[in-house]
Amino acid sequence: MKFKIVNFGCKVNTYESTYLEEVFLQNNYIEASSIEDANVIVINTCSVTNVADSKCKKMIRRIRRENNSAVIIATGCSVQNNFEEYKNFGIDILVDNFHKSEIFNLYNEYLKTKEKIYKHDSNRKQVFEKMLLDKFTKHTRAFIKIQDGCDNFCSYCVIPLVRGSIRSKNFDDVISEAIELSNNGHQEIVLVGIHTGSYNSDGKDLVDLINEISKIDKIKNIRISSIEITELDEKFMDMLKHNSKVVDHLHVPLQSGTDEILKVMNRKYDTKYYENKINLIRSIRPDINITTDVIVGHPYETEELFDQTLDFCNKIGFGKIHVFPYSVRKNTAASIMPNQVSEIDKKKRSEKLIRLSDILMDKYENKFISKEMEVITEINHNGDVVGFTSNYIKVFITNSDGLTSNNRVMVKLIKRDKDFVYAEYIRKVDE
């Protein structure tokens, strides 16, 4: 029997989809090379924007059209957000965001009864769903999901409704998972969550967790998928100063560069607070790469306010800006606000901010040309040897003969184009 997992969305979804892959493999299923070749297909959906919802629905229609005999299972945020609608898509098993670990058992139940299964809970209060991995087969960097849910209720965001309230993985389970992953060769761990900085397990917070993972000798790099500016407290800053295993990259969502829109968004800081924190980080780690998310075209955003966001982003000097045109999400505060911005204006503003992001990324990465940096190698889909530096510069290694995936190497960055920074291999780190 053959299975196929189709994943959309964030790193948390990637972790959960990898967990499902491992469950099927452990039960003697073979991963299909294509949709047409699979006996069972799981789609892990995303609902961060209307575009994400549309892509998921389009994919499910395509799957049903191209493989009418397969058992189709759909789960994830778009399913959670549009459960009744998804019942009309010819899906055999619909599973909410809170019972993904049960999918294989539900599939076996379906094989016995051939009756459609709909599992849905709309209660925000949930326990952390236990999932543990001992390997991250398709990635050099291993993700560990340490947290789920969000209670912030930002005006534009549906995630608190579809992911539930804040909850965290047991501290000892995370450490055991990190040890197993390192024993299977993973040298870099990425801690992922919906609101990662809120991690708390019996009084132990994210910093406690990072410091404990750092004691595992085989783990060389620890990366945080994303963290809110308000969670970068004195304890975190002290850890950043003294823990060399924490990489030189932080993704810190901004969302808007104006105090007026931040307030409307129900964000918990203003631009001065954000700027001061970034300056403090850079006083500790001068070469750190700060990347961010910005939403353009939120209700009440005028052209003048957008220009202030452009100026603020330029002032901060991000390494990269992930730009999201505001998308109306049902049941959110922003969806019923007046002063909605036209799609044309959203598109124009997005293009301007993307151009600024490209300039800032070019400026940041060019600072490291001619410098030697450490990289953990990966093999991309073309068979090329690539990798990421500690500060998240993607490099293409030009003289890579003899290198395989997961080698820790020193490289010299030699030039940059729009796709890569090119680097020359110097030596393996342990040589």
**Which segments of 215-254 are extended strands (E)?**
221-224, 249-251
Residue 137 has pLDDT above 90, yes or no: no
Residue 380 pLDDT level (bands cut at 50, 70, 90) = confident
> Which among 248, 220, 259 has a CA at the least distance from the CA of 429?
220
Give the tokens for residue 353: 């901010």
Mean pLDDT of 219-241: 97
Q: Over 90: is that where the pLDDT of 379 sits?
A: no
R_g of the chain computed on alpha carbons: 22
Under the banding of pLDDT at 50, 70 and 90, the label for residue 132 is very high
pTM, two decimal places = 0.95
Number of Cα atoms under 13 Å in the Cβ half of residue 112: 6
Please state the rounded mean pLDDT for residues 211-231: 97
Q: Decide: 237 and 284 in contact? Cβ < 8 Å.
A: yes
Q: Nearest to residue 312, comparing CAs of 247, 384, 258?
A: 258
Residue-wise pLDDT for 323-355, tens only, equals 999 999 999 999 999 999 999 999 999 999 999
The domain locations on the chain are: 2-119, 126-247, 251-367, 372-428
The H or E element containing residue 303 is helix 303-316
Distances (CA, A) of 169 to 129, 130, 206, 340: 8, 7, 11, 39
Q: Is 178 left (phi over 0), alpha (psi -120 to 50) or beta?
A: alpha
Which two structure tokens, joined as six digits, stand for 430? 């342990």
Q: What mean pLDDT comes out for the span 249-266?
A: 98
Mean pLDDT of the residues in the chain = 96
Architecture of domain 2-119: 3-Layer(aba) Sandwich (3.40)
**% helix, strand, coil for the chain, step of 5:** 40, 25, 40
Residue matched to tokens 């491992």: 22
Mean pLDDT of 389-408: 92
Pick the residue with more confidence: 193 or 136?
A: 193
Listed residue (219, 301, 209, 303) closest to 259, CA to CA? 301
DSSP 98-131: T-GGGHHHHHHHHHHH---EEE----S--PPPP-
**DSSP 8-state assignment for residue 92:** S
CATH code given to domain 251-367: 3.30.750.200
Q: What is the pLDDT of residue 382?
A: 82
Q: Which residues contact 376 (CB under 8 A, 6 or more apart)?
A: 140, 141, 187, 188, 220, 221, 387, 388, 406, 407, 408, 409
Whether residue 174 is predicted with pLDDT greater than 60 in this model: the reply is: yes
Amino acid symbol at 36: E
Pair of tokens at residue 115: 């009756």
pLDDT at 112 over 60: yes
322 has pLDDT over 80:
yes
Q: Could you tell me if 2 and 37 are in contact, meaning their C-beta atoms sit under 8 angstroms apart?
A: yes
Q: pLDDT at residue 287 above 70?
A: yes
22-26, 142-146, 383-387: the lowest-pLDDT one:
383-387
Residue-level pLDDT at 232: 97
What number of CA atoms fall less than 13 Å from residue 150's CA on the CB side? 19
- List the CATH code of the domain at 126-247: 3.30.750.210
CATH superfamily name and code, 372-428: Nucleic acid-binding proteins (2.40.50.140)
pLDDT at 151: 96
Dump the DSSP string for 384-422. Answer: -EEEEETT--EEEESS-TT--TT-EEEEEEEEE-SS-EE
pLDDT at 431 over 90: no
pLDDT at 136: 83
- The amino acid occupying position 422 is Y
The HSE-up count of residue 286 (CA atoms within 13 Å, CB side) is 2
CA angle 223/198/83 to nearest 5° reads 100
pLDDT at 329: 93
DSSP string, 229-256: GGG--HHHHHHHHH-TTB-SEEE---B-
- Please tell me if the domain spanning 126-247 has the same topology as the one spanning 251-367: yes
